[in-house]
Amino acid sequence: MNPLLFTSETSSNGLRERDFTVGEVPGVLWSPASGAAERAPLILMGHGGGNYKKHPAMAGRAQRLVTGCGFHVAVIDAPGHGDRPRTAYDEQEIDLMQEAMASGKPVGPIVVRYNDHLAELALPEWQATLDALQELPEIGAGGPVGWFGINMGTAIGVPFVAAEPRITAAVFGQHWPDTLAEKAKRITIPIQFAMQWDDEHIPREAGLALFDAFASQEKTLHANAGRHKELPRFEADSAVRFFARHFGPAVARPA
Amino acid sequence: MNPLLFTSETSSNGLRERDFTVGEVPGVLWSPASGAAERAPLILMGHGGGNYKKHPAMAGRAQRLVTGCGFHVAVIDAPGHGDRPRTAYDEQEIDLMQEAMASGKPVGPIVVRYNDHLAELALPEWQATLDALQELPEIGAGGPVGWFGINMGTAIGVPFVAAEPRITAAVFGQHWPDTLAEKAKRITIPIQFAMQWDDEHIPREAGLALFDAFASQEKTLHANAGRHKELPRFEADSAVRFFARHFGPAVARPA
């Protein structure tokens, strides 16, 4: 097993930020700046396509989860993203997506295919990362572990969560059912799912079909008016409360 | 104009509870036990069918809105409900609903027709109640006013809010689009809408169609797995946060 190696550490705003690697995969672990010795739940976050582990959306969610609930939050760069090299296949798919976007052609079939490929590579990376994170005394094995990933974070998260019994609550959203619905049918943990009611890329019926596919007894759909990129900021707070509800806030008051 | 007459007053758990009448209509006003002289937003709540103004669901929501946000909360008994007399027509429709429920026939057409009738009666009552409440110094005219009503509270609330420019944010849910969709199309204020994904009375497509009908630029659907009566308790907290987001919490921390 590849150990987790910390490569740098900073602290600000109550947030301890540690860069790490597990094998070739670079990641970041955000933790409460104080009380680092106490065990707390862990939230794994999957970033969006074209994005990276410390994108402001990731850092913002981490801030809420860490200072609001006292949780640990970890993100790794997806294959071909952030500090990781792109393959010729990555470049080709990205070109095709940009072409489709520019010419107004449907981008869905390309995103579905490319994200499915990335999910296959990412799944063992996430499993190794979770193994390594659970070796840390402040996380430990057997504690609550959540998944929080929208867009590509759902394309990677659904197969990962379907295969990973250590994850006991998850927030997903904004993807197509084509390759994911079959895996969603194997997921029975509580989930929350975000979609945009007027998504210009993901047809409404497709979003609803993916939500419908989850076998979870407790599942909640949050559909907001607006286009693909207009997911409201308050959905980040809502996700934090979802995890606080299931994992109990280490700190009583979510941000 | 019928004045608001207070008929009794009690206080407990930080909640001041005042029964009132406006003309023939009995109501209850819940307010913060302290700081009663300060103006605060007002939430009008519509109770469910077969229910009444001080039903535990109403009292529970009021507790959260008053002690969590410092808001005032008012509920009146709907026609034929609570302390109000039932007409022969009320009795007839209630019998038909109970018959349908008992025999497993669709209850929707009866509920839609009966609630539409009640909404017509309730609309001027709510307008008179709001007029009278805004005469109170701790509420006043021109301040934020919200509507919170699920089930029959939506059947009455949608026509009321469509006709009432003083209401600037609303929580609805769990009704049919048949007579309400046309009125929902005239509503442009921020709304949150709750439905049950496995509702045995309201078909999924009907719930989605009513949500779709609102013209609001900001609208959020919360769909939860479960049957009609299984609306999760956390949706009450979610509604409180919706109002806190729009009206600003008089107290910083929602319950």
Read off the tokens for A39. 């065990």
Say how many Å lie between the first and final Cα of chain B, rounded. 36
Question: Is B224 part of the contact surface with chain A (CB cutoff 8 Å)?
Answer: yes
In a domain, B253, yes or no: no
Q: What span, in angstroms and rounded, lies between the C-alpha atoms of B149 and B170?
A: 8
Look at residue B249 and tell me whether its pLDDT is greater than 80: no
* Overall domain count for chain B: 1
Chain A contacts of B244, Cβ < 8 Å?
A: none
Q: What pLDDT score does A123 carry?
A: 98
| Percent of chain A predicted with pLDDT > 90 | 93
Does the model's ipTM exceed the 0.90 cut? yes
Q: Which DSSP string corresponds to B37-98? A: TS---EEEEEPPTT--TT-HHHHHHHHHHHHHH--EEEEEPPTTSTTSPPPHHHHHHHHHHH
B221-247 mean pLDDT: 97
Question: Is A198 part of the contact surface with chain B (CB cutoff 8 Å)?
Answer: no
Q: Which pLDDT tens digit goes with each residue over B52-103?
A: 999 999 999 999 999 999 999 999 999 999 999 999 999 999 999 999 999 9
Side chain identity, residue A62: A
In a domain, B254, yes or no: no
In a domain, A132, yes or no: yes
Q: Do A232 and B221 touch (CB under 8 A)?
A: no
- Phi and psi of B75, rounded to 5°? -135, 140
- Residues of chain A with pLDDT below 70 are 35-37, 249-255
Chain A contacts of B241, Cβ < 8 Å?
A: 237
Look at residue B252 and tell me whether its pLDDT is greater than 60: no
In a domain, A249, yes or no: no
**Is the pTM value of this prediction over 0.90?**
yes
Interface test with A, best of B221, B227, B241 (most A CBs within 10 A): B221
Q: What pLDDT score does A36 carry?
A: 59
In a domain, A96, yes or no: no
Helix ranges, chain A (H): 56-69, 88-103, 108-133, 152-163, 181-184, 204-213, 234-247
Say how many Å lie between the first and final Cα of chain A, rounded. 36
CB B65 within 8 A of CB B243: yes
B225-230 mean pLDDT: 97
Could you tell me the pLDDT band of residue B38, with boundaries at 50, 70 and 90?
A: confident
Read off the tokens for B23. 């003309």
Chain B contacts of A220, Cβ < 8 Å?
A: 222-225, 232
CB atoms within 10 A of CB A108: 16
Q: What pLDDT score does B2 carry?
A: 82
In a domain, B96, yes or no: yes
In a domain, A103, yes or no: no
Mean pLDDT of chain B: 95
Chain B contacts of A234, Cβ < 8 Å?
A: 245
Torsion of CA A90, A95, A98, A103, to 10 degrees: -150
Q: What pLDDT score does A2 carry?
A: 82
Q: What pLDDT score does A37 carry?
A: 58
CATH number at residue B134: 3.40.50.1820
CB B11 within 8 A of CB B17: yes
Q: Which residue does chain B place closest to A237, by CA atoms?
A: B241
B165-175 mean pLDDT: 98
In a domain, A94, yes or no: no
Of A123, A44, A122, the residue nearest A81 (C-alpha): A122
Domain that holds residue B52: 4-247
Q: What span, in angstroms and rounded, lies between the C-alpha atoms of B25 and A21?
A: 68
Chain A contacts of B237, Cβ < 8 Å?
A: 241
Q: What pLDDT score does A1 carry?
A: 74
Q: Which residue does chain B place closest to A213, by CA atoms?
A: B225
DSSP E strand stretches across A23-78:
25-32, 42-46, 72-76
